[in-house]
Structures are given as C-alpha cells and as structure tokens.
A and B are shown apart, each in its own frame.
Chain A
C-alpha cells in the first residue's frame, strides 16, 4: 500500500502496527470490512464495550498495511482537536494537522472510538469526509483538504449506555455502513481468552462460563455483563499467579458494580464458579 510517494506515506509510519494484532473472527466481519474498504465506504461498528471492536480495526489496519490513527472521543473533543490548529514557534506560527487531517492528508484508517461522546461541532466535520465528496475543509487554514485515496473512516459506538440526549443524528448515521458486534460464541471466546490471557483452554472455558453468568444480569442491575476484555484480564492475573477466585474478584466482580446487592451476588457467582 505504498501510495504515490513513499515519503508521504512515511509521515504516518509512527501509526503503523508493529506486529499482527491477534483477532479471531466471529462471523464475516473481515469480508465486510474489506468490501467497505474497497469502495472506501465509511464504517460504523456498534457493540458493547470490550467485545473486540478496537482490536478488529487494528487487525484490519495491519492486514491492509495501512496506518491506524485512533481517537478516543470525549465530551470536550472539539473541531480543532480533530482537524488541527495553529501553533507558535520561534519562526512564527505554523499549522499542526489534527489526527483526522493527518489521516485524510496522508492516507490511513482514522478510527473514532465512542463517536457519540464527541461534541457536535466536532462530529459535523466528518460529514463532507464521510460522503462522496471526501473532503475536509480546514477553515482556520483556508484549505480544502481532499482525502488521500487510502483514507478510510471508521467509527464505533455502544448503543447500550447512551442517555436520551446522546445518539447519532440521522444525518450522521446515514453516511455509514454498519456492523454489529457482540460477545463471541462461547467456544470462540474461550479460544480468545486462552490466547490473549495465556491460560489453558479448560480454564478459559470456565472463565467464559463465569462471564456468561454475569451477562445474565444485564438489564437486571448491570448495564453490561463482563466483557471479553475483562475475562482476558482475569486470565492474565491467573497467569501471574493469583488463585482463580482472587483473580476473578479483582478483574470481574469488583469492577462491574458499586451496588451492594449486585456486588454481593457477583461475589457469590465467582465463589460458586471456582473451588
């Protein structure tokens, strides 16, 4: 994927992945991403936290040989944080591209994590980039930046815990193609936990069973049950020498809830699951 100029692509070398990120497909999401990328259609990933959205994007970036610029959106994220701003140095002012402008200028995947958290003045910047125009107006610099052919826009959000005031506007939604993510099937999830956490498959299977038990409390006191990421954390603590109950309390039961009743139930679940 070396574009027109090797020197240009070089600009984003720091954002290239050094090694292949492990990713276990749970369905046809790899083919779906490749198809969207071939047509340069923007992609929206929906799913609960810790189910593998970010890892999937990293894996695809590595597979396509593209740099990946990830931006974690938050409520103070402004247009300037995305597009860029003027800075001052000894010579005077100079323009510093923001991460979105960098990806658009030099070609790469720009991944905006939890897009709905961003302020509306930031998200509206994406509109001309996400449709057929593929341009980013840099108002402060007086530049209309045409996106590099390798530029690909990927955003994610978790529909589960957004309040009434949050949500994507139709004008944003309808520019994207979308994939739904969920926790993988038990067998696949156990393989992931074993691989990522460095525990044997039997222990990974028992951790996944515990994870599924906590997910039954979703909508019954928990906003979300234990994510795959949490199960991997438990496995890592096990590998570091903690006993299973201690590892699961630390990595799963205690972080999940502050509610005294739910916490007591979760502790009971951990104790029942491991001798």
Chain B
C-alpha cells in the first residue's frame, strides 16, 4: 500500500525532483520485501540503463518522508551521473566489496556536492545525530567511515577510519584522490586487508548500508553466474536494456495499478477513436496511451419520443448570460460615453451652487462572449436506478436535464453538443454522440438517439473529460471566439471495474480538469442524487459543482454554473 503524506503519495513529488535537480526521468518502482526479509531494514535498489529504474522500499513499518525520498533520489542520480560501468566481482572478498561500495558512494556524492552543495546537509542527517553508527564492529566502522567521507569537518578517532580517509582524499584533505573506479577498487583491496588483520567478523546476509537513503550497491557489480539469482525480481533487469517504447511497455506495475482484465477485450475489431494517457498519483506520472475511447453509433430507437416544449423558464434564467452591449440608463463615475441627462443635471447643480453628482458617464454592460457548451451525460449502470418506485429512472433525469439545457442554449444563440459516457475498464470507454455541434437540439434524430441510450458500465471521468476537451478543441478550431464550457451531468463520483485505489480516479480527474483549464476551457458538473457534490468538488473545485435534486431546479442551478 503506498504511503500517503497529507493525502498525497510520498513519491508524488519525486519525478519533478529528478527532472529539476538532475534532468533525469527515471522510472520509480515499489520494492516488496523478499521472503524472510520483512524485518530487515530495506534499502533502495538501482537497475536498468534505458530506462533507469529506482526501486524504493514502500512496505509498511518502514518510516519514510519526503527528505528520505529526495536523499535516495539524489544519491541514485549521483551514481547514474558520476559512476562507471558495472565491474566483475573478481577475487574481491565480501568485506572488500562492501568497502568498495562505501568508497564509491563517497566518490559520486563528492562530485554531486560540487554542483549541489545543499545535498550535504540532506545526506548527513542520515549519518549523524542519534542514529549515527557507533561501535567498533566492521558494519559500524563502515558507517563511521561513510560519515567521515561525507563530512570533512568530522574527525573520527578510530585509526582505521582515519587511514581510510587519508587514502580517499588527496593531500589537501578535501579533493578525492580516488578518481577512477580502478583506484577505488585498489583502495578497497588495501583497506579490506586491514579489516582481515583486525579479525573483524562480517555477515554478508545481514549487512545493510548504514545510511537508509543509500542503495544496496548491487548495480556496481556485473551479473555473476555463480551466484544464486536474486530473491527480488527487478524491472529493467540488472543492467539489461529495457524496452524503450513507453507505449508498448507500461512504465510501472504497481499493486494498485489497473491491469487489463484479459489479453484482448471482446470489442477488438472496433478501432478506438482516441487513446489517452492517465494520471497515476501513486507514481506521480502519466501512464501513456492508457485509456481507449470508442464512439459507437447508437441504434436509433424506433419509438420516437416527443420532444418537450422549449423550456421557457430555463431560457429566461440563462438570458442574462449574454447579449449585445446594453447601454442601460445607469450613471457611473467612469466610462467612455457621457450621460446626457447627467450633464444637464450637473449644469443645473453648478448653477445652484450645489455639489454636482460625479456619476456623469453611461453604464455600458459588456456582453460575455457567447457560450459553446459540451454536455456530457452519465449513462453508467447506476443511472438505471429509479428515483421513486414507479418513477423515472436517473437516466431519464440526466436526459431531461441535458435536453432542456441544450434547447435553452440554442434558443439563446449559444452552441451546444451532447455526448454520453460509460466505461468498462480502461480498454473500453464508450462516448456515443447524441447531438453534434451543428445539429439542432430539437431534431428528431437527436430524440431517437436519446431514446436509444441505455444504462450500462462505469464512470471514468478523467478520460471522458480529456476526450471532451479534444472534441471542444476541434470545434474551437472551426468556430473560434466562443467561451468553452464542459458540463458533466452525473450521479456520482468516478469508479471503474479495474481501479481499486479510491484516490486514483479522483486524482486523474483533477489532473484532467487542470489540463482543460490550461487550454482555456471551464469544467462544471451537475450532480444528481445520490451523488455528493463535495466529492467531485475536490477534483473540480467547489464553485464548479452544483447539486441538482430534480430537473425542475435547472433554472436555479445552471445560470450560476455557466456564468462563473
């Protein structure tokens, strides 16, 4: 289970951190404890070349915070930026291998510190303080050495640590004498021999690098055919080149991630009209080419439903949203045109030696640009429910709300279009068109398509919104200058059969709404019972959602929603 910090995944800021500080975009993968190792303090693991992968231990009981993540990320990046290729273990003993790891860690960190001196404080907090390595065992000495090499102001009294430090640094005491991997290897051999002479025991199975942010250094070594294979399967392999095509290979596999239900969805013969990425808040990045949108033609119902009369109340309520520039009789202090009545009054006031009214300009009401509204109707299975026994279904309510809105907008000179949505996992998101932009809302074909709409499937709002933005943008290219609003008419929050993490789809919806806003489109939602507007408001913003208990309430709810 990913660890959440104040409601967001602790790893969520890492992709941005990697990109900004290191100009790298490695993959992040969760690391599950190997069997029998659940109680051993875990360490990150690096693997792969292209793409590089940082495996982070995420299991419960292991305290993590943002500082640990950033320390681990910068340490990994230092290895990738300043480290050499992996080397054969050769005749190096386990003691010497562990020592080589500490020296190589210090070397790459020293190079990193030349550009990013602030990292010393970040890293040092895992070496010094109450958790500092103490004692004279080999594990403790390695911890003490690691701290000494990171912090030049720290003097360790142990003669072996002092000797190792003298080997690591040049005569000036601050630049490393060990410039190459080969020099590090020689120093590790030399210093490891001292440990042998001190007869200090070393258990390679229980050894962990002292500082928790440092990786296990397994990436330093070439694969050794004599060693048993690792208990922990790694993505990208140990030094193996992974598939570079992101679209073909999903970047990560998380326990909470949506997985295809089967190898091939039943509707494979149809081609999707669009494929969209989806935001995964756990890994803090988009899953590329993740969700498929289909646009099936609706089998038009034979029984033509009679269209209701033009919704006059709704029209009147919406009429204030636009119109030609209106010169009202009002007088204001500032404006472009003088108000002639006010001028006469002012002249009179001056003659009477009274203070004149400073409001001498005419108030001009500027019209808002006309609206182009894309209505998205929820047709998921939950809309089959009846509001009252024997009463209309929720889908009927959604239909009525969408139709009335569309008709009223058309009558007032705005543009509108109607699409419905329902999903069946990420491979199948259906968005049939009920009314294209240019078709009149009262056309019989629209009524027939409306009648043919059935309740089925789930609600994957983020992808629905992305497709709506594409549809609206295509219309905007042909009809520029209209104010674009996308209105979701739904009975509840996002859910889908292949998503199990409750925060996953809301986080994606929030992201999709941000994308829409950036493209100059407003996103609004009308929520029918039993949906809770507060849940959607967390993704869309409180002012952008309104509860609609009944279609009759549209004239009260809709104007404010479209005007905002």
Residues of A at the B interface (CB closer than 8 Å) are: 76, 78-80, 85-86, 88, 90, 93, 119, 140, 161-166, 209, 213-214, 216-217, 220-221, 223, 245, 260-266, 268-275
Contact = CB atoms under 8 A, between A and B. Distances in A.
Nearest first, the 9 closest Cβ-Cβ pairs linking A and B are A163-B520, A80-B336, A265-B16, A264-B13, A275-B117, A265-B17, A261-B13, A164-B520, A272-B116
Contacts of B518: 161, 163, 223
B13 A213 contact: no
B8 interface: yes
A216 B115 contact: no
Contacts of A260: 6, 8, 12-13
A148 to B, nearest CB: 24
Interface in B111-141: 115-122
B490 interface: no
A245 B366 CA distance: 47
Contacts of B320: none
Given A86-B338, A164-B476, A216-B19, A268 B360 contact: no
A166 B369 CA distance: 12
Given A164-B473, A165-B484, A216-B19, A274 B521 contact: no
Nearest to B18: A265
Nearest to B10: A264
Contacts of A79: 336
A59 to B, nearest CB: 32
24 contacts: A76-B366, A140-B337, A162-B520, A163-B521, A165-B482, A165-B520, A209-B115, A217-B19, A217-B20, A223-B518, A245-B118, A260-B12, A261-B13, A263-B13, A264-B17, A265-B14, A265-B16, A265-B17, A266-B20, A268-B70, A271-B118, A272-B70, A272-B118, A273-B116
A217 B17 CA distance: 9
Q: From A85, A162, A165, A220, name the one whose CB has the most chain B CB atoms within 10 angstroms.
A: A165
A221 B74 contact: no
A230 to B, nearest CB: 14
A165 B480 contact: yes
Interface of B: 6, 8, 12-17, 19-21, 23, 66, 70, 74, 115-122, 284, 335-338, 343, 346, 350, 360, 366, 369, 473, 476, 480-484, 518-521
B16 A261 contact: yes
Contacts of B70: 268, 271-272
Nearest to B24: A216
A220 B284 CA distance: 11
Contacts of A90: 350
B338 A216 contact: no
Nearest to B9: A261
Contacts of B15: 220
Nearest to A98: B336
Nearest to B472: A164
Contacts of A275: 117-118, 120-121
B13 A262 contact: yes
Contacts of A274: 117-118
A220 B19 contact: yes
A164 B470 CA distance: 12
A264 B12 CA distance: 9
Contacts of B476: 164-165
A223 B14 CA distance: 18
A144 to B, nearest CB: 19
A85 B121 CA distance: 62
Contact of A272 (B8, B21, B335): B21
B17 A88 contact: no
A244 B69 CA distance: 23
Contact of A88 (B13, B119, B343): B343
Q: From A165, A221, A268, A275, name the one whose CB has the most chain B CB atoms within 10 angstroms.
A: A268
A272 B16 contact: no
Contact of A221 (B16, B23, B360, B483): B16
Contact of B346 (A78, A88, A265, A266): A88
A140 B336 CA distance: 9
Contacts of B346: 88
Given A164-B520, A165-B483, A264-B66, A217 B16 contact: yes
Q: From A79, A216, A270, A272, name the one whose CB has the most chain B CB atoms within 10 angstroms.
A: A272
Contacts of B19: 216-217, 220
B538 to A, nearest CB: 13
Given A119-B366, A261-B16, 17 more contacts: A79-B336, A86-B338, A88-B346, A162-B520, A164-B473, A165-B480, A165-B520, A213-B20, A216-B19, A216-B20, A220-B16, A262-B13, A265-B13, A265-B14, A268-B13, A268-B70, A272-B21
A269 B17 contact: yes
